[in-house]
Structure 1
Amino acid sequence: MTRATRRPALGRFAATLIATAALAACGGGGGNGDTPNPPAPQPQPLSVKLEKIGGYATGQFGVSAAEIPAYDATTQRLFVVNALAGKVDVLDLRVPANPVKIGEIDASGVLAGAEINSVAVHDGLVAVAIQAPVKTDAGRVALYRASDLTLLGSATVGALPDMITFTPDGKTVLLANEGEPSDDYQTDPEGSIAIVDVSSPAAPTVRIADFTAFNGQEATLRAQGVRIYGPGASAALDFEPEYIAISADGKTAWATLQENNAMAKIDIASATVTNILPLGFKDHGAPGNEMDVADEDGLINIRSLPGVRGLYLPDAMASYAVGGQTYLVTANEGDARAWGEGNNDYWAGDASKGFVEEFRVKHLVHTGGFDRRAGDDLPPQLRALGWGAQLNPTTFAYCGAVAGNPNACRNDDVLGRLNISWTMGYRTDALGNPVMFNAAGAEDPTGDRLMYDHLYSYGARSFSIWNGNGGLVWDSGAEFEKFFASDECKLGSARNIPCKDFFNSGHDEGSAKDSRSDAKGPEPEGVALGQVNGHTLAFIGLERMGGVLVYDITDPTAPKRLDYLNSREDWTTADPGTVLSTAGDLGPEGLVFIPAKRSPDGTPLVVVGNEVSGTTAVYRLNVSGGQP
């Protein structure tokens, strides 16, 4: 992703935890099932309430000055990626209510002009992922001593290392080398996973697990549901690892391939990608998968939308063990591929200067065709496919579509404002070429219109639990948006502001009710796991709506929401940056769970880096019940 929208790595602390599981699904279009183990006896009920007890503010708004936190119990220090500075801020957390900056890690000595993208810590050893000044060049991994910030060693890895995590034994770190293309798409490095032996920090050794073995298999992978669609890209060029989770035994890793709507499975010992796991889609026409897709009506209108399919496109991922199996928890953010957005030549029709897959439904199926958007937001690659597009009158009859005319389906308060991917959903022949239709809506080899049988939107507005083969075990469905629309949900540290008054708000604007409904809704991005009193908890950070949701996922087939805390305080000032000192926390990016036995004050904590407000928030878990 571009630097402005780069998505970090969040779950390096993710523990291996014990729970029970069986296989179930909510909506969806995935397979890859395992035979589940029978459920084990459940622990006693647990109550959790988050309380903000402190924080640290950089005083910088909207520039990603606080992103990824990592914690070292041996020194009681927080290490927080400050993307604005390209460094890591080091905070003393001995008094959790008052974190104090005591230093920083600057990787420019390792690589001139470098920026640090991610940080992980294991028993006094700090590992950072370093992006080269030209992001398509090879990056670095560097290792530091937590106690005095001494550089111990470094090594070269792949292009744009954007996430880093330790294996459970602390002897190996893995990096997701995202390998994004240049902004003009003229250079596109291969994505990969770097597997680094850090048992001797002064001399780390690197092996690369790449995707070249999947070159030539693109047609098969696409048929399975893997998105490979960059201009002229092979599998190795198109796959962009985003985030990594590791099994309890340290033998297997999984990496989200966000834009590809898939996961890669990696054998760590051999440094080999063993499988690509497609994640399928979420049927927003199915009961329980409803959503609000109109952002300009000022209303909460959560409804069933047949024909609309959500692509999970997960960002953060964490793992936990259940009866000998690994389960993966994902935050289904939904980033699109968008390069060349600021290049006038691209919008003027030069397809070699970028690739943007987002388009609104109202523009896609307008009876006046695509050219009415030329020079504005019409991707030239879409124009190359045809003159215009139509909606399948059978699938979309519920909103008025007929042959040759979408009618009310493209209205702003129906489907018109929804951002979808034009690269999917249109009818194709056996070779993958578009089947053309004429103006009357009849199939016609001489026609110039695409026929969209389904529309694919970004993200699932949910979090999901998957088995180790990529099979969907559970998804939160429409629960996030329905909760935010309820009288139960409250905002602010005092929990006294109705969520429904600011439903689907943006994270960098005020009085923004409903502003994100056309895109990805509350936009879940970060996830952290922790174990408290015999229960496995998931903490889900919401990038746009803000705040942290707490779920008990001890039974992966039946998670339960326990709490929600959003410590943004000002929801009405048009530009929150003008009231930054009192605005609270906006734009959660990375989360880390600190168990009571490793916490400075003996209580379980969650620390959140907030990229928009530039703040690091410290939350205490007030817990009752369960099995201490």
Structure 2
Amino acid sequence: MQKKPLLALLLAAALMNGCTDHFPQNPVQEDPSAFKEVAGVDLGGVAAAEISAYDPASKRLFTVNNEKAAIVDVLDLSAFPAVTKLKPIDVSALGGVANSVSVSGGKLAIALEAANKQANGSVIVLNTSTLQTIKQITVGALPDMVTFSPDGRFIVTANEGEPNADYSVDPEGSVSIIDVNNGYSVKTLTFEGFEGAYAALATKGFRKFGPKATFAQDIEPEYVAVSDNSQKAFVTLQENNGVAEIDLINGKIVNLHALGTKDINYILNALDPSDEDKKVELRNWPIKSFYLPDAISYFSVNGTPYVITADEGDAREYSAFDEQKRVSSLKLNPVYFPNGDELKKAVNLGRLRVTSTRGDFENDGTYEELYSFGGRGFSIFHAADMHRVYESGNSLEQEVIKAGIYDDGRSDDKGVEPEGVTVGWMNGKPVAFIAMERVDAIGVYDLSNPGAPQFLQIIKTGDAPEGVLFIPQDKSPNGKSLLVTSNEEDGTVKFYQP
């Protein structure tokens, strides 16, 4: 039988996977399990490198830097792997902290919280070549993430709406949709219309628990993924343990999806809950955990749309309200925990942080169930109905342990703490890059079968990777797939290629 040319085979695979938009015109086979660091730049100290976005036209990388003031660093990658730092964009006079950036069609969008964090923030749009401001648009309180839709028509922000330290001011969480084609008109969506659904959502793991907060105030949008056809957005509501589904065309919230809980008694969900047992040992325990995802990314396989979440976990921790408790400090109902005294020892569950807001059935200070924070892995859902088709169990942590980089000092908190995730296309296949804040590493997975992802590689990064960005071959400055991490604790930006 006559063999087809390699290009024809690759193009056929791309068409079969519905990913022609992600496929370069002159593809070169690459090994997604062989990423290595090829360049890096140091932008300062803590908070000097948080989120990055790349403009293929100008070959510039834009990185949020809040170490000393609200700026966006501009890195010239035109001679990559040489990286040249250009004059930064200073937005400090326009508001408070810059939280996120996104690029589309020669435009850079910057999410900027207000100087008063509880007031409405804004999005600043600039030309990526001239760096001249095109527009500043008011959005909801604390825009924590900004992204363009794939077609460039919409700019979407997740406005977290966090309370102040004493919880005396708690703005409503919201999602803002900016229509670029309609003079940057903005519509900000809030969640009061779903208050009547809370009882049903709560039975599926959705959380509403802020002191005296209304439903709309308690919602805290974190991260946005937009569908390939630019019609829907999926927004993580991290502290609430949910995902909001947004109709971008009609500008409305169409659904809230509760994400359930993870049963740590299930054999594949074993974890290490102690930072004082002087060993790394994954075991099963009579507890559950809220997934509480941070980042979310959208992808399709064979025409079926999916989203993937990094199940970081997060707790509300303010001077007037801190939901976290050590298991050792709680009174456990002996009917439900007959070996409660043993469980409360530091080498067992005693050191584990759990929420005080769930598990006390009778509100008498005695706990019948325990709920910790985070999934310590990632989940994949059918985007059509948010049905979970895969959950990584403890497999991600096992790979980290095998690599010899697990931090036992974080066992009592959220383990490896997966915070960021993005999906890129290599050789016509979707590849996930999952950033783990507490082990300074990226987990790489082949998502060709979303129900059974294939582990490929662990990549060491800078300290605490906050942003993870994939630049495909056809947009890369040197024609090779490029992975970029922005590392918030050491202020570095690292570049990796296969």
Same structural fold, with TM-score higher than 0.5 when normalized by the shorter chain: yes
2:327 matched residue in structure 1: 361
Supply the distance in 2 between the matched residues of 1:558 and 1:533 (Cα, whole angstroms).
19
**Does structure 2 retain, via aligned residues, the 8 Å contact 1:216–1:234?**
no
State the match for 2:74 in structure 1: 90
- Residues 50-99 of structure 1 show CA distances to partners (whole Å, capped at 9, x for unaligned) of 11011110232xx2110001000000000000022311101001233232
**2:205–2:290 contact (8 Å) kept in structure 1:** no
TM-score by length of 2: 0.91
Alignment-mate amino acid for residue 279 of structure 1: L
Q: Assess, with a 3 A threshold, how the Cα gap between structure 1 residues 162 and 594 changes in structure 2: closer, same or farther.
A: same
Instruction: Give percent identity, aligned residues only.
Output: 41
Query: CA 1:19–1:330 in structure 2 vs 1: closer, same or farther (change >3 Å)?
Result: farther
Q: Hey, which bits of structure 1, 4+ residues long, moved more than 6 A?
A: none
Does structure 2 retain, via aligned residues, the 8 Å contact 1:18–1:321?
Answer: no
RMSD of equivalent CA atoms: 1.9
Q: Quick check: 1:419 aligned with 2:353?
A: yes
Matches within 5 A, 1:231-242: 231-242=211-222
Q: Does 1:597 align with 2:491?
A: no
**Match of residue 390 from structure 1:** 332
Deviates more, 1:212-221 or 1:452-461: 212-221
Change (3 A) 1:603 1:539: same
* Structure-to-structure mapping, 1:562-573, within 5 angstroms: 562-567=456-461
Q: Secondary structure of the residue that 2:267 maps to in structure 1?
A: coil
Q: Which residue of 2 aligns with 1:552?
A: 446
Determine if the alignment matches structure 1 residue 309 to structure 2 residue 288. yes
Written as runs of structure 1 = structure 2, the 5 A alignment for 1:332-411 is 332-340=311-319, 354-364=320-330, 389-394=331-336, 396-397=337-338, 401=339, 406-411=340-345
Q: For 2:371 and 2:82, how far apart are their aligned partners in 1?
A: 45
Q: Secondary structure at the match of 1:164?
A: strand
Does residue 191 of structure 1 match 2:173? yes
Cα offset, 1:328, TM superposition: 0.8
Q: CA deviation at 1:19?
A: 4.8
**Offset at residue 454 of structure 1 (A):** 2.0
* Inter-CA distance 261–17: structure 2 relative to 1 (3 Å threshold): farther
Amino acid at match of 1:311: F
CA distance in 1, matches of 2:198, 2:398: 38
Q: 1:49 maps to which residue?
A: 34
Q: Partners of 2:293 and 2:16 in 1: how far apart?
A: 23
Report the 3-state secondary structure (helix = DSSP H, G, I; strand = E; otherwise coil) of the residue aligned with 1:282: strand
Structure 1 residues not aligned, in runs of 5+: 1-15, 21-43, 341-353, 365-388, 429-433, 437-448, 490-498, 505-513, 568-584, 623-628
Residue 164 of structure 1 corresponds to which residue in structure 2? 146
Deviation at 1:471, TM superposition (A): 1.6
Equivalent position of 2:400 in the other structure: 484
Q: Is the 8 A contact 1:169 1:250 kept in 2?
A: yes
Residues 178-235 of structure 1: CA distance to partner in whole angstroms, max 9, x if unpaired? 11111110001101110001136xx421011211212344333323421011112221
Q: Give unpaired runs (5+ residues) of structure 2.
A: 1-13, 19-28
Q: CA 1:191–1:522 in 2, change beyond 3 Å: closer, same or farther?
A: same
SS of corresponding position for 1:49: coil
- Counterpart check, 1:453 vs 2:353: no
Question: Is the 2:112–2:121 Cα contact (8 Å) retained in structure 1?
Answer: yes
1:47 and 1:100 map into 2 onto residues whose CA distance is: 27
Residue type of the alignment partner of 2:406:
F
Q: Supply the distance in 2 between the matched residues of 1:45 and 1:590 (Cα, whole angstroms).
A: 23
- How many equivalent residue pairs? 473
Point out the more displaced range, 318-327 or 331-340: 318-327
Partner in structure 1 of residue 102 of structure 2: 120
Which residue identity lines up with residue 304 of structure 2 in the other structure? Q
For 1:57, the aligned partner's letter is D
Q: Deviations over 1:4-33 (max 9, x none)?
A: xxxxxxxxxxxx99759xxxxxxxxxxxxx
The higher relative CO (CA closer than 8 Å, separation ≥ 6) is in 1
Structure having the larger proportion of residues in strand: 2
State the 1:105 CA deviation.
Answer: 1.7
Equivalent pair of 2:160/2:220 in contact (CA under 8 Å): yes
